[in-house]
Amino acid sequence: MEQQLPIPEPIFVQPKIAAKILNCGMTKLWELVRQGRLDARRMGRRTPITMASIRRYADSLPPAREAA
């Protein structure tokens, strides 16, 4: 029986995917890039966002408060 290797998490994601992951719009996504809170790279004509920066940004957000 052939053993399957785990699929690694991607290093980069396209901006539309990053916006879906963060549940935000494209305007907010590019604002976060301009602010330096998300890390974008140039790869030819594409500008992917690093998954590491998405995780860092998500971890930097304050926890939600429970409803009273």
The answer to whether position 24 is within a domain reads: yes
Give 38: exposed, middle or buried? Use CB within 10 Å, 0-12, 13-18, 19+. Answer: buried
pTM of the model: 0.82
pLDDT digits (tens, 9 = 90+) for 5-59: 888 889 999 999 999 999 999 999 999 999 999 999 999 999 999 999 999 999 9
The kind and range of the H/E element at 49 are strand 49-50
The answer to whether position 48 is within a domain reads: yes
The answer to whether position 5 is within a domain reads: no
Q: What domain range includes position 30?
A: 12-59
Q: What is the pLDDT of residue 39?
A: 98
The answer to whether position 1 is within a domain reads: no
Q: How many domains does the chain have?
A: 1
H-only helix segments in the chain: 15-22, 26-34, 51-60
The answer to whether position 27 is within a domain reads: yes
Q: How many Cα atoms occupy the beta-carbon half-sphere of 38 within 13 Å?
A: 29
